[in-house]
Amino acid sequence: MTPIAGTSTGSVERFVNLGRGRVVPYPEPSSDAATKIGKANRRVDTKAEVLLRSSLHRRGLRFRKDHLVRVSGVRVRPDIVFTRIKLAVFVDGCFWHGCPDHQHIPKRNREYWVPKLLANVERDRRVDAALACAGWVAERIWEHEENDCAADRVQRLVYALTDALPGSTPAELPGTRREDLLDVRHDGLGELVGQRRTFSEERRQAQAVERNSDPAAQDLPVDA
C-alpha cells in the first residue's frame, strides 16, 4: 500500500495505490482510537500464529517462520514453512483475508475497504497458484479455528508429504499419534501424496534428461 498525493477542488486529497492499476482514496481515520487500532495490527506473530507454532513445536515438528519463498516470480512469506517437504502454512486473519463467517467490512471509508479487502483475497489466490505450480502445498488456516484442530491438520500434511519423499519411512517422523492422524480415506491425503510423488518423479526425470544432454552436468548430483 503506497500513499500518493492528489488534488481535488481547492483541497489536497490522499490516495492509496493497491497495485494492479487500482488507486483508491486514503482511509482517513475516524478517531484517534481507530488510528491506534490500525497501528497495532501485526504482520507477524499474531496470537493465532504463536499458538499454532507452539502446538506444532510441542509435537516435535520443526519449521521456519516468516520464511521468504520465491516461486514463479512471486515473493511470499508464509507464517510457517516446512522447506524440505514444500509445505507453506498461512494463518489468515478473518478481517484481512475475507473469512465468510466473520469478516465485516467497515461502514466508513468503504470506497477504500471494499477494493482493499478484495485485493487481499485475489493476492492470496495468486500466491496459492504460484506455489502449486512450483510443487508446493499451501495450507490456509483461519484465525478463528480451534488451535488443536488446526495443528492436527498441519501434522497430517507433514506426515503425508514426508511419506511422499523418496527414501522416507514412517519411523523417521516425530509424534505418537501417526495412525490416528494419517487417515487418507477421510481427508484426501491419498490423492495429495499421489500428486506429490508424481511431481517428484517428473522432476527427477527432467533432471536426468538435462544431465544426459549437458556433458558439463554429468558430475552434478540429482536433486531428490
Could you read off the pLDDT of 88-128 as tens digits, one per residue? 999 999 998 999 898 888 888 888 888 889 999 999 999 99
Per the model's pLDDT, the better-predicted residue between 19 and 155 turns out to be 155
Residue that is written with C-alpha cell 509424534 in the block? 175
Residue 32 lies in a domain: no
Instruction: Give residue 83's domain range.
Output: 2-26+41-213
User: Is-contact 24 116, C-beta < 8 A?
Assistant: yes
Q: Under 8 Å CB-to-CB from 29, ≥6 apart: which residues?
A: 35, 38
User: Is-contact 181 155, C-beta < 8 A?
Assistant: yes
Dist CA 224 CA 52 (whole Å): 29
User: pLDDT at position 174, please?
Assistant: 52
| Grid cell locating 13 | 486529497
pLDDT digits (tens, 9 = 90+) for 196-207: 666 666 666 766
pTM of the predicted structure, to 2 decimals: 0.70
Residue 141 lies in a domain: yes
Provide mean pLDDT across the span 69-86.
Answer: 95
Residue 33 lies in a domain: no
Most confident of 23-37, 106-120, 186-200: 106-120
Residue 193 lies in a domain: yes
Share of the chain above pLDDT 90, in %: 42
The whole-angstrom distance between residue 200's C-alpha and the CA centroid of its chain comes to 21
Residue 222 lies in a domain: no
User: pLDDT at position 47, please?
Assistant: 94
Dist CA 209 CA 187 (whole Å): 35
Per the model's pLDDT, the better-predicted residue between 23 and 55 turns out to be 55
Per the model's pLDDT, the better-predicted residue between 6 and 66 turns out to be 66
For residue 5, pLDDT over 60 is answered with: no
Q: 191 by DSSP, 3-state: which?
A: helix
Residue 158 lies in a domain: yes
CATH code (residue 121) = 3.40.960.10
Residue 151 lies in a domain: yes
Domain count for the chain: 1
For residue 43, pLDDT over 80 is answered with: no
Mean pLDDT value across the chain: 78
The whole-angstrom distance between residue 21's C-alpha and the CA centroid of its chain comes to 24
Residue 90 lies in a domain: yes
